[in-house]
Amino acid sequence: MQDPTHYPARMTGSNSGTASYRRLDVTRRRAQLIRAALGLFAHRPPEDVSLDDVAVAAEVSRPLVYRYFPGGKTQLYEAALGSAAAELTECFAVPQEGPLTVRLAAALDRYLAFVDEHDAGFSALLRSGSVVATSRTGAIVDGVRRSAAGHILTHLRVPEPGVRLRMAVRTWITAVEGASLTWLDEGKQPAVEELRDWLVDHFVALLLATAARDGQTARVAAAALALEPAEGAVASLARRTVELLTEAEHLLPSP
Amino acid sequence: MQDPTHYPARMTGSNSGTASYRRLDVTRRRAQLIRAALGLFAHRPPEDVSLDDVAVAAEVSRPLVYRYFPGGKTQLYEAALGSAAAELTECFAVPQEGPLTVRLAAALDRYLAFVDEHDAGFSALLRSGSVVATSRTGAIVDGVRRSAAGHILTHLRVPEPGVRLRMAVRTWITAVEGASLTWLDEGKQPAVEELRDWLVDHFVALLLATAARDGQTARVAAAALALEPAEGAVASLARRTVELLTEAEHLLPSP
């Protein structure tokens, strides 16, 4: 025998259940329209997407799209962006275990898959002077950046980051965004795995450069380096960098 | 005896000279209005600047401002931005001699002085979802970025940069912009000289990280390192970085 309370209200036969069923239906319908819109905004500049297109893509009538989004395309675009932002925010929520570079690579894999999948929409939104950017979309994008910075500082186990460490993390996030746009401009060259590894190297290089002038960052970097494997990304970067520096004989003291 | 053709037309007594004088006057007046506007846009968000304010600041009548900028505030703002862009574009035009880090520091000194002087205007324009950003202002800003990247590649003596080196340079420029915005958010902390030195270190770190996976960048980096002094920024960064890496004993092979 199954306990009906274990089922969503829509599965029960009660009157309140019917109301819940309708509410659930509204939520689902809304999500369906947002999904359809996001699919269109991902591959065309927003000015080339009409509510008609969304209705066709979602296989519903145009009035229905307007009923759900009476504010028209702007409201639908912001809703689609909000949904995309929620997905992007999740990218950096990777488990707090293992070497930092492995965690960053996992986060970047998700982030870059999103960029790849939503290329035109990503460009259109973040291009300077974008026609679709408003103070509201700007706030959504900034929310994603802040959340990503928060996640990274949590991975670094820094509850009270100083200005230099905060600036390093925020600057790297800007750099990831800029590199993603350049990558799209360059016809998605080099391969996404190389871009990911290069962005991880960039993080390590920036963390070490910042550590060279800031005690807090130096402690954080030392703790992070201790977790890196002897044959991992950091070891490889370190060896190749020291080789380059050693070739310019005058820069490093002889061992 | 002086040849009058060596003088601007306004210095000659001819009739056409009078017309030229008037044209020069128009150019000067326009420049005066743009200067006044730039001073206002630098410290207030553009929505808080009226043409009246510009007339007061330039000590001219409001109709005169309209006569020069019939397109109103948008036209004036774009003209002011164009003038600012020309100034920013000059930042990276430093002499092609001496160590690369010294040249970069000189360019950044000019760039950061501009950011410091035009703080509110710089933020308002580059903030995502900025109310003042249009496709036209976007094109002006992108022009500055492209020009800065071109200057840096010229300093690196790379006539045909590959995708990885192009991406490194463009990413660093994005990072400089992002760091400048963060620096303004942080109430201009740390001191501007420290920010400059950190951005130079960031460039070196990113160049070396890119060199680790790209032959062209490795050759460019080696040539740049050869010009760096034994007691300069790169030597200091290299020593401190190797110290940090050596503390994590497993990452670098024993000497």
Looking up residue A69, the CATH number of its domain turns out to be 1.10.357.10
A135–chain B Cβ distance below 8 A for any pair: yes
A226 touches chain B (CB under 8 A): yes
In a domain, A202, yes or no: yes
**B4 in a structural domain:** no
Mean pLDDT score, A140-161: 94
- pLDDT of amino acid B34: 93
With respect to residue B103, please indicate whether it lies within any of the assigned structural domains: yes
Distance (Å) from the alpha carbon of A147 to chain B's nearest alpha carbon: 15
Distance in angstroms (rounded) separating the CA atoms of residues B143 and B134: 14
User: Does any domain span residue A99?
Assistant: yes
ipTM for this model:
0.87
Q: Is residue B1 part of a domain?
A: no
Q: Is residue A221 part of a domain?
A: yes
Check pLDDT > 80 for residue A133: no
Q: Is residue A211 within 8 angstroms of chain B, CB to CB?
A: yes
Q: How confident is the model at residue A136 (pLDDT cuts 50, 70, 90)?
A: confident
Choose among A127, A179, A255: nearest Cβ to B255: A255
Instruction: Tell which residue, A35, A204, A175, has the closest CA to residue A104.
Output: A204
Collect all residues with Cβ–Cβ distance below 8 Å to B7 and sequence separation of at least 6: none
Of residues A8 and B105, more confidently modeled:
B105
Using the beta-carbon criterion (under 8 Å), do B129 and A134 form an inter-chain contact?
yes
Per-residue pLDDT tens over the stretch A60-70: 999 999 999 99
What is the percentage of chain B residues whose pLDDT exceeds 70?
Answer: 87
pLDDT in tens, B5-20: 343 434 444 444 455 5
Q: How confident is the model at residue B3 (pLDDT cuts 50, 70, 90)?
A: very low
* Domain limits for position B56: 10-247
3-state helix, strand, coil in chain A (%, to 5): 75, 0, 25
Question: Could you tell me if B228 lies within 8 Å of chain A, comparing CB atoms?
Answer: yes
B6 close to A (CB below 8 A): no
Q: CA–CA separation, B255 vs A88, rounded Å?
A: 44
Nearest CA distance, A49 vs chain B (angstrom): 18
Closest-approach residue (CA) in chain A for B138: A129
Cβ of B212 and A194 within 8 Å? no
pLDDT tens digit string along B122-156?
A: 888 887 666 667 778 888 889 999 999 999 999 99
Contacts of A213 in chain B (CB under 8 A): 194, 197-198, 201
In a domain, A253, yes or no: no
A175 with B178: Cβ contact below 8 A: yes
Q: Report the pLDDT averaged over residues A82-86.
A: 91
Chain A residues lying within 8 Å of B194, measured CB to CB: 213
Tens digit of each residue's pLDDT (9 = 90 or more) over A47-57: 889 999 999 99
* B253 located within any domain: no
Cα–Cα distance, B169 to B157 (Å, whole number): 13
pLDDT score at B254: 64
A192–chain B Cβ distance below 8 A for any pair: no
pLDDT for the residue numbered B7 = 39
Instruction: Tell me if A167 and B179 make a contact (CB, 8 A cut-off).
Output: yes
What band does A255 get if pLDDT is binned at 50, 70 and 90?
low
Number of domains in chain B: 1
Nearest CA in chain A to B126: A128
CA neighbor of A211 nearest in space, from B245, B203, B191, B104: B245
